[in-house]
Amino acid sequence: MSTSSDSQQLRKQRVAAAAVAELTEGMILGVGTGSTVNAFIDALGPWASRLAGAVSSSEASTTKLRALGIPILDLNDTDGLGLYIDGADETNGDLQLIKGGGAALTREKIIAAAAARFVCIVDESKLVSTLGSFPLPVEVIPMARNLVARQLQLLGGQPRWREGVITDNGNHILDIHGLHITDPVALEQRINQITGVVAVGLFAARPADLLLIGTADSVRRISRSD
């Protein structure tokens, strides 16, 4: 008997296969984090010896990539990345994203900034008209957590500490609940300016270039140039 989690996994596998079709021989690939990316890494086997290497956004993805024999590179040892593949917690039709549900947002932002092309892979449940139903993650320096939380409250949301979670960079996460983000670029800039913030999981100034959306029977493509 098929369950809804089976069908969600099938959507992830379908969109992962579509992302594999974006790879080119000898490229350095940026790889994100999460269950959709895990489906993508699971489909990467035949490409293991055809990639120059990967820059990974998390320890979890690094472990899976290494198990396939894909060399893990330090971003500093590259001249940038041809392609970055990652998931998202929410996306709007302008390919602006909320990311960081897996607490890897800072490294993901760095990799997105370094990548010539960012392909975001999601299932259709992630597509929204206005970002903000998913609580917006903000990575903060631990000693500044309450200071930042007070500033975030002034923006109209309710920041909550993701207690018990320490990022791969040794920091804390505040999730801002109750936002209705009508100007994602402005909000991203505003949160970036708060002292103690390392990164905000709003990918608006640098959105995805291509969105691949896994549906029940196909993969829908939305390109930034559409």
Residue 221 half-sphere exposure toward CB, CA atoms < 13 A:
11
When the beta carbons of 52 and 72 are compared against ligand 5RP, the nearer one is 72
Measured from each CB, the residue nearest to ligand 5RP is 34
For the chain, what is the total number of helices (H) and then of strands (E)? 6, 13
In 11-80, which ranges are E strands?
28-31, 53-56
Q: How far is the CB of 143 from ligand 5RP (least distance, A)?
A: 23
Given the residues 22, 59, 108, 163, the one annotated as active site:
108
Q: Would residue 139 show up in a list of annotated catalytic residues for this protein?
A: no
When the beta carbons of 28 and 111 are compared against ligand 5RP, the nearer one is 111
Interface with ligand 5RP (CB under 6 A): 32-36, 86-89, 99-105, 108
- Would you give the DSSP letter of residue 38? H
When the beta carbons of 101 and 159 are compared against ligand 5RP, the nearer one is 101
When the beta carbons of 23 and 107 are compared against ligand 5RP, the nearer one is 107
Q: How far is the CB of 110 from ligand 5RP (least distance, A)?
A: 13
Q: How far is the CB of 154 from ligand 5RP (least distance, A)?
A: 25
Cα(23)–Cα(82) distance, rounded to whole angstroms? 9
CB of 202 within 8 A of CB of 188? yes
Nearest in space to 120 (alpha carbons), one of 24, 5, 204, 26: 204
Catalytic site residues?
108
